[in-house]
Chain A
Amino acid sequence: MAAPPVQLLDVLLFASAADAFGAPQVRVAVPVGATAAEVREALFAAARAATGRALPAASRLAVNQRFAAPEQPVAPGDELALIPPVAGG
């Protein structure tokens, strides 16, 4: 059976997540039709592979500048960002 088609998505990184990857954004490969939860999991796996360190467990994915529900699908052209635990105030 053929593998499902894969899409490459760029994700903006901030604060400790940008430090973990050593870059302000990262590209991840996920199946076409992937959800926000799957993109988030791909980012966690990429961080473990690249750095051997885990991203903060409370990191959330934002799609088009809004926090995404886990089941929300993402598509090429969406603005994706990994939001590590926020600390404003």
Chain B
Amino acid sequence: MTETRLVRRPISPDGLLGAVADPAHGAVVLFLGTVREQNGGRAVHGIDYSAYEPMAERELAMIAAEARTHYEVGALVVEHRLGTLGLGEVSVGIAAAHARRGPALDAMHYVIEELKRRVPIWKREHYADGTREWVDPSR
């Protein structure tokens, strides 16, 4: 089972864990990405996330399918939130489950690294002085 989606509501860790629950799994890995209070020495007050939605959905689904093929994960759920998020809110959640811990950890790591590399999602940080800037990890 793999599920991937873009959401405009809070991401529920319990919801992700429930979606992958299965007694066949001996390991469940949960990753949460959250809004951090500073970046590059500047105080961050919030982040707007936006996406090229049809392509982002397609890339997320492809990444999940690749992870499933490479690591034979039993269940994998990925959610990325869009819209304006405050400090500490969850922007991305990944739950990966497998009979054993190794493939579950590897699948989670593969998904977050590929997501950051190729899913067309962007974030614009809000700073304390009222300015907003798009984050460019390539610089």
- Docked-complex contact A88 and B80, CB < 8 angstroms: yes
Interface residues of chain B: helix, strand, loop or mixed (majority) = mixed
Q: Are A86 and B122 in contact (CB under 8 A)?
A: yes
Complex Cα spacing A66 to B138, Å: 20
B100 contacts the other chain (CB 8 A): no
Q: State A65–B136 Cα separation when bound (angstroms).
A: 21
B92 touches A15 (CB 8 A): no
Interface residue tally on A, bucketed by range: 20 to 34
Number of interface residues of B (CB under 8 A): 29
User: In the complex, A85→B116 CA distance in Å?
Assistant: 10
Question: Chain B: residues with CB nearer than 8 A to chain A?
Answer: 33, 49-52, 54-56, 58, 80, 91-92, 112, 115-124, 134-139
Give A contacts to B, CB under 8 Å.
12, 14-16, 19, 56-58, 62, 65-67, 81, 83-89
Pull 20 A–B residue pairs with CB atoms less than 8 Å apart, ordered by A. Answer: A12-B52, A57-B138, A62-B52, A65-B52, A65-B54, A66-B58, A67-B118, A81-B55, A83-B55, A85-B137, A85-B138, A86-B119, A86-B120, A86-B122, A87-B122, A87-B137, A88-B49, A88-B56, A88-B92, A89-B91
